[in-house]
């Protein structure tokens, strides 16, 4: 099982090395490390680790979290693929089936972009949510999805209709040239970092015209 640990460490030589050594000693296999930011004397990293099961992940996280100066800000499992090309693969799938572009996008986005579920939100002329066009299989019923944020790239706040509590992370990706946004939701674990949002923006710019053409053809 691939898991993501979002870790804050002191921004000095050897800090990340201590973390990777601890992961190795706990039996974890590091697949990738993403450096998200470095400021105010600390660095924020996403460490993707192969673990055997949830119990192994819990033990590994305790080992890492016990290191001096190390703070685990969140754990996501299963984590998205660590190849770095998943956004391009999703775009390829959407472009190859333009008449099914909306459904292909919403179904493929969670696995490609590291979300638990996704939805396509249509905005009205007043700038507010007008309709939910499609929801990926793991998502709630369309009637329970409400987004108060405007249609622009960024993190948004979405409530779980079952508990009325906010999800751990949610992000909106506008589809360029349309009044539709791709909503991505992580129910628990880690939120969407700005470095992830910067990667998602070009996807909306590429897919938008395909969605426009497909909608016009219907």
In Å, what is the CA distance from 201 to each residue of 33, 131, 208, 218?
A: 22, 22, 11, 26
Q: Helix (H) and strand (E) counts for the chain?
A: 5, 9
The whole-number average pLDDT for the span 118-138 is: 94
Which residue ranges form the domains of the chain, and what is each CATH number?
2-76 (3.30.70.260), 86-217 (3.30.450.40)
What pLDDT does residue 212 have? 75
Lowest pLDDT segment from 4-13, 76-85, 135-144, 148-157:
76-85
CB atoms within 10 A of CB 33: 16
Q: What is the DSSP letter of 122?
A: E
On average, the pLDDT of the chain sits at 90
User: In the structure encoding, which two tokens stand for residue 45, read together?
Assistant: 């990293």
Q: How confident is the model at residue 81 (pLDDT cuts 50, 70, 90)?
A: low
96: left (phi over 0), alpha (psi -120 to 50) or beta: alpha
Look-up of token digits 């015209």? 209
Q: Strand order in 2-10's β-sheet?
A: 29-39, 42-50, 2-10, 71-76
What pLDDT does residue 214 have? 65
- Residue 103, SS3 per DSSP: helix
pTM for the complete prediction?
Answer: 0.85
């Amino acid at each position: 099982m691939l898991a993501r640990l979002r870790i804050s460490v002191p921004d000095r030589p050897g800090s990340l090395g201590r973390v990777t050594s601890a992961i190795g000693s706990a039996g974890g296999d590091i697949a990738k490390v993403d450096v998200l930011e470095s400021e105010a004397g600390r660095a924020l990293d996403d460490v993707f680790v192969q673990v055997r099961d949830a119990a192994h992940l819990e033990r590994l996280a305790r080992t890492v979290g016990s290191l001096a100066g190390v703070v685990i800000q969140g754990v996501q499992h299963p984590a998205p693929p660590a190849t770095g090309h998943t956004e391009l693969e999703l775009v390829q799938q959407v472009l190859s089936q333009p008449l099914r572009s909306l459904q292909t996008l919403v179904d493929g986005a969670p696995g490609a972009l590291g979300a638990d579920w996704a939805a396509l939100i249509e905005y009205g002329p007043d700038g507010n949510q007008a309709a939910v066009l499609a929801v990926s299989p793991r998502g709630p019923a369309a009637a329970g999805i409400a987004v108060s944020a405007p249609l622009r790239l960024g993190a948004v706040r979405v409530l779980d209709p079952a508990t009325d509590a906010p999800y751990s992370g949610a992000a909106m990706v506008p589809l360029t040239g349309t009044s539709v946004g791709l909503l991505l939701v992580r129910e628990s674990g880690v939120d969407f970092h700005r470095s992830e949002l910067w990667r998602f923006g070009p996807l909306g710019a590429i897919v938008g015209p395909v969605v426009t053409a497909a909608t016009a053809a219907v």
